[in-house]
């Protein structure tokens, strides 16, 4: 059976990596202080990789990643280290990148996992809307600065979401200075940006054998949803169930954290690079482009065309350079 057909929505990390030896591989994973970031690091280390985990709060991350270190010791696995990274502060992003460049150790995979979701309106230290600034711009600067460390054959995996369907990017008003703020529209913009960044990065680096993809982990109960209003969440689940019923499908099911991290590791080290490069992946396979006039529930598969549009990706890249004050 083709590796692209082996796994699906219920596949978990250890199933996806069964029989895979990652000794000698180095992986950077951002956001390792909670949720699927910890699980991504744990399963990679358990299979032999050396993982550099990036986190804003190192004390919290030190405690949260105890299972990662246990896997390394108990299973003759790889190794793990922490580095400080606050994606909402470009000075921290640049300091982290500079430290990694000074060390000079190459990476085989970067998993841009960290993020925030549906936050009340606020701005980063550099005065960008928090979700766009954290989820996209922070990673944009970090990854581009350390791109020379990605080995030929390496991969960038950007964590996106089905939430990209809430909105295309708005390059005329990225900080909601003229637009009424909606936390889910802002989240959608940032998740679309994550996909477009993968598309553009893939175009720029594929000639040297480096590929990039975006992944949707699925709908999981983690700290990511801590800003969500419970009533709104219940309403969204009800709407999804109504849409699923209309499609003749069963009710919505939450994914486990191990299932949520599975697509990240699948795209990062298992799936053929030529299959996932410049694409949007979900449920351990490549997602299909769905027309904008097709109604998609939060658990239906599919990616909006605007999120994979090369012209849109190029425009976002240019705007991101302007905002960050740095060209790549």
Residues classed as catalytic: 160, 187, 191
| DSSP state at residue 150 | E
177 within 8 A of 297, measured Cβ to Cβ: no
The answer for residues whose C-beta is within 8 angstroms of residue 253's C-beta and 6 or more apart is none
The distance from CA 36 to its chain's CA centroid, rounded to whole angstroms, is 10
DSSP state of 15: H
* Residue 125: CB atoms within 10 Å: 12
Phi, psi of 111 (to 5 degrees): -110, 105
Please identify which residue in the block is written with the tokens 């989820």.
135
Residue 118's nearest CA partner among 99, 105, 103, 135 is 135
Q: Tell me phi and psi for residue 251, to 5 degrees.
A: -70, 160
Measured between alpha carbons, how far is residue 150 from residues 53, 108, 114, 193 in Å?
Answer: 16, 6, 19, 21
CA atoms 190, 194, 199, 201: torsion sign: positive
* Beta strands, E only, the chain: 26-30, 50-55, 79-84, 107-112, 150-159, 211-216, 280-282, 285-286, 289-290, 303-304
* Cross-strand pairs, 27: 51, 109
Distances 142 to 62, 89, 111, 120, 249 between C-alpha atoms, Å: 22, 11, 12, 25, 41
């Amino acid at each position: 059976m083709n590796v692209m057909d082996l796994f699906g929505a219920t596949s978990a990390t250890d199933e996806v990596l069964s029989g895979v030896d990652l000794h000698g591989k180095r992986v950077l994973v951002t956001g390792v202080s909670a949720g699927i970031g910890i699980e991504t690091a744990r399963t990679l280390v358990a299979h032999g990789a050396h993982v550099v985990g990036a986190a804003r709060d190192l004390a919290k991350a030190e405690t949260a990643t105890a299972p990662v270190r246990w896997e390394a010791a108990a299973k003759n696995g790889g190794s793990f280290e922490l580095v400080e990274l606050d994606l909402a502060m470009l000075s921290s992003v640049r300091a982290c990148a500079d430290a990694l460049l000074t060390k000079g150790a190459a990476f085989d995979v970067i998993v841009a996992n960290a993020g925030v979701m549906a936050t009340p309106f606020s701005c980063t230290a550099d005065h960008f809307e928090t979700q766009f600034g954290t989820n996209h711009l922070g990673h944009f600067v970090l990854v581009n600065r350390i791109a020379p460390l990605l080995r030929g054959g390496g991969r960038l995996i950007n964590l996106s979401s089905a939430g990209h369907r809430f909105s295309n990017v708005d390059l005329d008003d990225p900080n909601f200075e003229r637009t009424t703020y909606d936390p889910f529209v802002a989240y959608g913009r940032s998740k679309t940006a994550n996909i477009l960044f993968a598309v553009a990065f893939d175009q720029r680096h594929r000639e040297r054998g480096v590929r990039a993809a975006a992944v949707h982990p699925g709908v999981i109960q983690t700290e990511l949803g801590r800003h969500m209003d419970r009533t709104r969440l219940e309403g969204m689940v009800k709407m999804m169930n109504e849409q699923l019923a209309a499609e003749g499908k069963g009710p919505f099911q939450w994914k486990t954290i191990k299932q949520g991290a599975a697509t990240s590791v699948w795209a990062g080290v298992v799936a053929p690079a030529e299959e996932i490069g410049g694409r949007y992946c979900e449920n351990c396979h490549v997602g299909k482009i769905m027309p904008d006039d097709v109604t998609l529930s939060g658990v239906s598969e599919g990616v909006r065309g605007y999120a994979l549009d090369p012209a849109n990706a190029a425009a976002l890249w240019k705007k991101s350079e302007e905002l960050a004050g740095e060209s790549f």
